[in-house]
Structure 1
């Protein structure tokens, strides 16, 4: 509906124009900025740059404009988005740490990018995360304290769907109610919520209650905060782009892939990379446009390095394998890929209902979907979890491996425990019978590093994606300690009459060797790739996110992080982009 509205009003130029293909009107327009990718980073940049009425912006998105699709909007339908038309449908290379399995690597392919396909958990990152970024980049502007104004630009804390009293579920004094992205605590209560809260109180030394993990210190047991409002997913398209749709100085081109960036000049030996080539199909017409001021690359941690390598920016020896002329030899491009590791650990439970019933019972699911369609309530408005733990591994684990703690510091977790009111696994289908509670363990501060590389010089071929999941003994040890913590938490008296037993391969894995085998066999990705074009003295980006060795090119997405935030990554990406927009706008006023 919104796409139709934009198309019908664009002739009047009172609003942003949405183009389904490159028209002569678009091709003959001069744009100050061309932004590539409409995820968290690109949408923020499109919004903030068009706040200056004299700045003309073109936003190019490879996917479509159907960001209000029901499967995107309904939080409970998020599992349908992998391998859908809203997914790039990447697959990893065989992962040594996963017994040489390949796994799906979902990335958003629609306005909103991966904010339209993720699991909606909102994290800011920690004080130590951001202070480490500041240290690595040499720019104190990336420190936690200096980013608070930008955090508040993102943050719009709203009431949960059911309107319940949220006292004790978050700290309102550290949140904003006038930011762009609507965030809420869970809007549907589950029977296990009181048990999780009681378990934290009973085992407060190991699982201390943390009123608000978005305080900058995540450690402990907390209620989740999610990008959900009135039971519906909030994306960068429904937030930042919806605001910007009211401005005539924004044009959006969808269903169009940027094939490469091309130099339009040379300054002091540096190529001016403000030329952008794009096409709508592998055999279609290739168009070229030039930004008057800058190109903003916001295509994500997989596609941004892919586009740079196709453009001749990357490891020259790697590019030579595909007869790509090297413009800037930057071997770090595509390396430093980091991701979080997912492992679902299930228990059978003594319950009359869990969310497994909704997943098995088509009639019940239809009833719940109708309820959600009517007013956003019911189980389809739920985030993937109402509660979780952020915890640190005992230092003895690292000393035994003759290594140091890989986290950013004491406010940052080594692992996350996500409480799920159902059977949660990316490896095993929901059993035909039984009801479950799962504790998803997540290696949140990994040491493994992977890479993105070229499979061919064809821009319509997917790159090779190697996140190197569980690629080190340290990460396996962190996962092992996470499983032990999960077992400790579920052994609390609060669960005594609820838990029946550990289920399946999880229950069979008790010794360290058995646990390691189970971990390698059952783990997967949390879908949080970052770091493939990192800022820093040893990285690819200057502290202001301009690409080293080039002119007119800046990278604003999760690929810019030198280390993975110890939290889910959409929030830090929004925050990074807010500061990036401020940096760019400062150059316009000089």
Structure 2
């Protein structure tokens, strides 16, 4: 696992804002000044938080991201290639669980999906759904096929930030699966809206693709926000150096279900018995830090039975990439 930065927050003199947001890759380039908010982690939550905060031109924000910029990362743009990003060490945090008896002693990948019984009513379906709708912009699929019965228009919004759409390159087997499932409606009921809260059955899954290019928090929230002079972004900040900045109001930690508790423990916030083992001084005794009620796992099965021929055959993959480059169509147009 990559080592996480140990951040020391110190007060420094305020300097004037630049005319536009800046992307820094060298700590010596970062202005030595105070920000209203420091956001640690530029993934889904961090990008949105930084974007929303800087909508107020009187608020200054520093966003710290341990990874690099998404600019020029081809696989992050192509829907069908995005899952391959996790196969590259420079883009993968390699979060794994400890070897488990139930997994035959293996240590498997541990993605940062999060579901917890928090008791906070703000996270129930009724309360969170309005923000999901505010976020989305439903657009026609890339091939403009007839979508009747594939989704429920009343369950979507059309003027948000993130483009939502149906698969624009249906595979021949898709209709066969739908037809077969229709013969067993009790076991596999058809769902005409997979975003409606009921996903027990068979239906068409929606994708975050717009203009035939994958949408992400970086492209639809952070990129537009970089036109604002009150936002600075520092990437690749995980080096073992101390960066001297201070937040007037808050340091916000949207570093993920794994990264956030690790960061907090490095700062001395956690279970005192855990911190003592590593010689970390306890600032706040908080046993709940790092205790995940549920954290999903990814596991591998035989690729000979399930792995797509598209990725096993280099020549076929090259043709698919060429087609996507030429017309933004083909099998890589959908999330595989």
TM-score normalised by length of structure 2: 0.87
- 1:87 aligns with 92
- 2:265 aligns with 309
Secondary structure at the counterpart of residue 91 of structure 1: coil
Deviation at 1:147, TM superposition (A): 3.0
- 1:377 aligns with 329
Q: Tell me which of 52, 67, 74 is aligned to 1:70.
A: 74
Secondary structure at the counterpart of residue 65 of structure 1: coil
After superposition, residues 45-444 of structure 1 pair within 5 angstroms as 45-84=49-88, 85-105=90-110, 136-137=119-120, 140-257=121-238, 281-282=239-240, 285-336=241-292, 338-342=294-298, 356-384=308-336
TM-aligned CA distance change 1:194 to 1:250, over 3 Å: same
1:145-170 CA distance string (max 9 Å, x none): 33343122211112212121222111
After superposition, residues 447-486 of structure 1 pair within 5 angstroms as none
Consecutive aligned runs of 4 or more in structure 1 exceeding 4 Å deviation: 341-349
User: What's the C-alpha RMSD, in Å, of the aligned pairs?
Assistant: 2.7
Secondary structure at the counterpart of residue 31 of structure 2: helix
Q: Counting strand residues as a fraction of each chain, which structure ranks higher?
A: 1
- 2:11 aligns with none
Checking the alignment, whether the CA contact within 8 Å between 1:160 and 1:230 is kept in structure 2 is no
Secondary structure at the counterpart of residue 213 of structure 1: coil
Deviation at 1:70, TM superposition (A): 0.8
TM-aligned CA distance change 1:293 to 1:368, over 3 Å: same
Secondary structure at the counterpart of residue 340 of structure 1: coil
Gaps of 5+ in 2: 1-15
Deviation at 1:83, TM superposition (A): 3.9
TM-aligned CA distance change 1:373 to 1:158, over 3 Å: same
Deviation at 1:181, TM superposition (A): 1.3
Secondary structure at the counterpart of residue 334 of structure 1: coil
TM-score normalised by length of structure 1: 0.51
**Equivalent-residue separation in structure 1 for 2:169 and 2:176 (angstroms):** 15
Secondary structure at the counterpart of residue 295 of structure 1: strand
Higher relative contact order (CA 8 A, sep 6+): 2
- 1:32 aligns with 36
**Equivalent-residue separation in structure 1 for 2:280 and 2:307 (angstroms):** 51
Secondary structure at the counterpart of residue 52 of structure 1: coil
**Equivalent-residue separation in structure 1 for 2:93 and 2:299 (angstroms):** 23
Checking the alignment, whether the CA contact within 8 Å between 2:108 and 2:298 is kept in structure 1 is no
1:459-508 CA distance string (max 9 Å, x none): xxxxxxxxxxxxxxxxxxxxxxxxxxxxxxxxxxxxxxxxxxxxxxxxxx
Deviation at 1:101, TM superposition (A): 0.5
Deviation at 1:106, TM superposition (A): 5.8
Gaps of 5+ in 1: 1-10, 108-113, 115-124, 258-280, 385-590
Checking the alignment, whether the CA contact within 8 Å between 1:20 and 1:253 is kept in structure 2 is yes
TM-aligned CA distance change 1:90 to 1:366, over 3 Å: same
**Equivalent-residue separation in structure 2 for 1:375 and 1:90 (angstroms):** 36
- Matched length: 320
1:220-250 CA distance string (max 9 Å, x none): 2111111222332211101111221221111
Q: Tell me which of 7, 19, 22 is aligned to 1:17.
A: 22
**Equivalent-residue separation in structure 2 for 1:340 and 1:24 (angstroms):** 39
Checking the alignment, whether the CA contact within 8 Å between 2:30 and 2:234 is kept in structure 1 is no
- 1:273 aligns with none
**Equivalent-residue separation in structure 2 for 1:327 and 1:211 (angstroms):** 51
